[in-house]
Amino acid sequence: MLRKLLSIYENAILFPDKPDKPSEQLYLFSNDRENEWLGIPKTELSEKELTLLQTIYQLVEIQSVARNAAAKGWDEYLLDDGPLPSYHTDSTLRFIQFQIKGDETNQIEIESALKGFFTEEIIIIWENRSRGIVIEEANTVSLTEEELISMSETLESDFYVKISFFIGKSNSLNDQLRSKFLLEKEYFSFGMTNLGTHISIFTFERIFPDFIAYHLPMDIKPKVRQGIFEIFYDEPEMYSTIKVFLENNLNASLTAKKLYIHRNTLQYRIDKFIDKSGIQLKDFYGAFTVFLACLLYEQSQKK
């Protein structure tokens, strides 16, 4: 199957085996069934083409050569299933993953800038030219979500790149550490693909509701949206009103401010939605059901 792409991407390279040191200028795809490896120049793929190919083939992360002694061992453990590096046995670690979107990524300068924001010693490893992991010992002073947002804005201003972070949970140093990291990596990739690169900070709590909605069985989805989608179809502004209202913990003043509408207008829409759907938003179960329907509606509009 990968071989057929050679007729579309003339500068692509087909490898009989996994290349030891592939160029970082290539996107490397693999087909495990046929043991094929294809490298396509990054300049020849649009974001839409890349997303499409990722749904069919496995995109292999090409590790950068920019590593230091401290990172050595951690990259082999997290990315290549190597042995657990020796560390303080009573340590609690947090992985902060990041992805950079920009024309030029100077790893040395960005790594130096990242270390400047943290008050304690951290380890940074790179998966490829644009994606990396900060390993932070959680018993030190950890950056808050607000501080990471500030960091993202500063890096964007200084380096003209867009950077997004996934803040992982604190984990003990044990044999479950890598599996927990891989799960967080899956959430981060899902968030970047499905929620958009305009979001600076991702967390498990931010991603998981969308993750659940996306992976709901096809026979369940119509049951969730029944009676709610019709309201959104008839009045498109109702969807954004209800979703923002729920995202802001039913705070009418804050919701009206974010939507740039009068509070009376907001209340009118909320009352109208409740009347049409028969679902009370101030009830936890009602709010949960409607929010899940909002996520399904949002995903349906992207198709």
How does the average pLDDT of the chain come out, rounded? 86
Task: Output the pLDDT for position 142.
Answer: 73
pLDDT average, residue stretch 221-239:
92
pLDDT of residue 88: 65
pLDDT of 287 higher than 80: yes
Please state the rounded mean pLDDT for residues 244-258: 95
Average pLDDT for 179-194: 94
For the record, the structure tokens of 245 come out as: 């209202």
d(CA 48, CA 46): 5
Average pLDDT over residues 157-177: 89
Lowest mean pLDDT among 79-83, 115-119, 234-238: 115-119
Residue 205 β-bridge partners: none
- For residue 65, pLDDT over 50 is answered with no
Q: Which of 195, 221, 220, 225 has the alpha carbon at shortest distance from 207? A: 195
Looking at residues 299-303, what average pLDDT do you find?
83
pLDDT-based confidence at 44, cuts 50/70/90? confident
**What would the mean pLDDT of 267-272 be, rounded to a whole number?**
96
Q: Between 214 and 198, where is the model more confident?
A: 214
Mean pLDDT for the stretch of residues 128-138: 86
pLDDT at 23 over 80: no
Q: Which residues is 165 bridged to in the sheet?
A: 98, 201
Per-residue pLDDT at 63 exceeds 80: no
Percent with pLDDT over 70 in the chain: 90
Q: 42: which residues sit within 8 A by CB, 6+ positions away?
A: 25, 26, 27
pLDDT of residue 11: 84
Delimit the CATH 3.30.70.270 region(s) of the chain. 74-211
Q: How far is CA 98 from CA 175, 200, 255, 294, in A?
A: 24, 9, 30, 28
The CATH number corresponding to 74-211 among 3.40.50.720, 3.30.70.270, 1.10.645.10, 3.40.50.150 equals 3.30.70.270
Q: What is the CATH T-level fold of the domain 216-301, as seen in this structure?
A: Arc Repressor Mutant, subunit A (1.10.10)
Specify the higher pLDDT residue, 216 or 32.
Answer: 216
**Is residue 272 classed exposed, middle or buried when 0-12, 13-18 and 19+ CB atoms within 10 A define those classes?**
middle
* Per-residue confidence band for 288, with pLDDT thresholds at 50, 70 and 90: very high
Taking the CB of residue 264, how many other CB atoms lie within 10 A of it? 10
**Cα–Cα distance, 162 to 149 (Å, whole number):** 12
Percentage of residues in the chain with pLDDT exceeding 90? 43
Please provide the DSSP assignment of the chain as one string.
-GGGGGGT-TT-EEESS--SS--TTEEEEEETTTTEEEEEEGGG--HHHHHHHHHHSEEEPPPPS---TTTTTHHHHHHH--PPPP--TT-EEEEEEEEEESS---HHHHHHHHHHH-SS--EEEESSSSEEEEEEETTS-PPPHHHHHHHHHHHHHHHS-EEEEEEEEEEESSTTHHHHHHHHHHHHHHHHHHT-TT--EEEHHHHHHHHHHHTS-TTTHHHHHTTTHHHHHH-HHHHHHHHHHHHTTT-HHHHHHHHT--HHHHHHHHHHHHHHH---TTSHHHHHHHHHHHHHHHHHHT-
Q: What is the pLDDT of residue 68?
A: 59
Residue spans in the chain of domains classed CATH 1.10.10.2840 = 216-301
| 173 vs 179 pLDDT, higher one | 179
Residue 220: pLDDT band (50, 70, 90) is: very high
Greater model confidence, 34 or 159: 159
The one-letter amino acid at 124? I
How far apart are alpha carbons 189 and 187 in whole angstroms?
6
141-169 average pLDDT score: 87
pLDDT of residue 256: 96
